[in-house]
Amino acid sequence: MEFRDLKRQYQELKPQMDAAMQEVVQNCNFISGKQVTQLEEQLAEYVGVKHCVTCGNGTDALTMVMMAWEIGEGDAVFVPTFTFFASAEVVAFEGATPIFVDVRKDTFNIDPEKLEEEIVRVQKEGKLTPKAVIAVDLFGQPAEYERLEAICKKYNLLLLEDGAQGFGGKIGERRACSFGNAATTSFFPAKPLGCYGDGGAVFTNDAAVAEYLRSIRVHGKGSSGKYDNVSIGWNSRLDTLQAAVLQVKLKAFAEYELDAVNRAAQKYTEYLGEGVKTPLVPQGFLSSWAQYTLILESREQREYLQKELKEQGIPTMIYYPKPMHLQTAFAQLGYAPGDFPIAESLCDRVLSLPMHPYLDESDIKFVCNAVKAALNL
């Protein structure tokens, strides 16, 4: 059993995938080929925004937005402490200070009430200038953007949606990666929409920001030609081959994969029953199920369950074993154990089960029966 079965996906998409990759190889247009522009147009249309700018990876996408917003020394950027390192790393990389915020224990996403408390605290201290919020769509579920957008408007903050795990999710009829002032996603192979290497994208309705992003991803290139450089940028382009792969995968994702993972999640929840804490998707929300994550009673119970499942050939993952505020890289910020109790508790108790669009119902039953047997449910 695979945790995320990319081999099965390739077999399902093999004719289209091989043809798409072969076209790139035959034409030898490996950098900035037509497939990149086509993909950007398709992604923008799918998400429902005016501009999509692809780049080398999801971390670069976040960093490019920080650059576009001129985030730097003396600025405070508010980030959930229960997330992948990159969400906070990019803030520090630009010289700004990440201010961590606890999350909701039911959705795993940033808690709007705790966010506002941290904004007020930083304002009162007066040492940093509150500048932006990075909200993460953890495990595939969009954060509470209606509340977050209202808070950001109240305090004049920019809002960045980190949709690395959330691509395909929805709130009502509005898709993930369309919220805030800008949004980003990652095309890392294990993501809901993943390529065969690294890749990322920024989504925005701001034409000036999109123009700037297109420039800095190619060394600050200007409009007059290849060697006209108008700003300091870097090299972060999505390869044509990866764009071709993503075109094939986006079609499958939109046509049936997103529906398939939601059916798989529903079956997991149905078969596991009420004996274990399963993920909550609030009414009106749709998850893209980057992960299907249980909350166990303790670290010890999690370790036991993970061991029992491994013995039966069932892979599991822990996302994440340590919150951001306790990472060594952020030790200078002065956070301590106990500062964010919900995130710290989740780090001790979460366990993610195999999840992908090609899970058979028999596989789901097998996993659920193994979980219930191990926990005596």
Strand partners, 78: 99, 133
Write out the two tokens for 153. Answer: 């408007």
Query: Quick one: pLDDT band at residue 226, thresholds 50, 70, 90?
Result: confident
The reply to whether domains 6-248 and 254-374 share a CATH topology is no
Predicted pLDDT at 189: 98
Q: What is this structure's pTM?
A: 0.96
Average pLDDT over the chain, rounded to an integer: 97
Predicted pLDDT at 224: 79
Topology of domain 6-248, CATH: Aspartate Aminotransferase; domain 2 (3.40.640)
Second CATH level (architecture) for the domain 254-374: Alpha-Beta Complex (3.90)
pLDDT at residue 32 greater than cutoff 80:
yes
Query: Quick one: pLDDT band at residue 223, thresholds 50, 70, 90?
Result: confident
Q: How far is it, in rounded angstroms, from Cα 229 to Cα 218?
A: 9
Closest residue by Cα to residue 222 from 230, 234, 214, 233: 230
How many helices (H) and strands (E) in the chain?
Answer: 12, 12
Find the mean pLDDT for residues 172-183: 98
Please, which residues have CB within 8 angstroms of residue 35's CB and are 6 or more apart in sequence? 20, 24, 240, 243, 244, 247
Q: How many CB atoms lie within 10 A of CB 136?
A: 27
Could you tell me the residue ranges of all domains in the chain? 6-248, 254-374
pLDDT tens digits, one per residue of 124-141: 999 999 999 999 999 999
Helices (H), 142-204: 145-154
3-state secondary structure of 233: coil
Q: How far is it, in rounded angstroms, from Cα 48 to Cα 123?
A: 34
32 conformational bin, left if phi > 0, alpha if psi -120 to 50, beta if neither: left
CA dihedral 90, 96, 102, 105 (to 10 degrees): -20
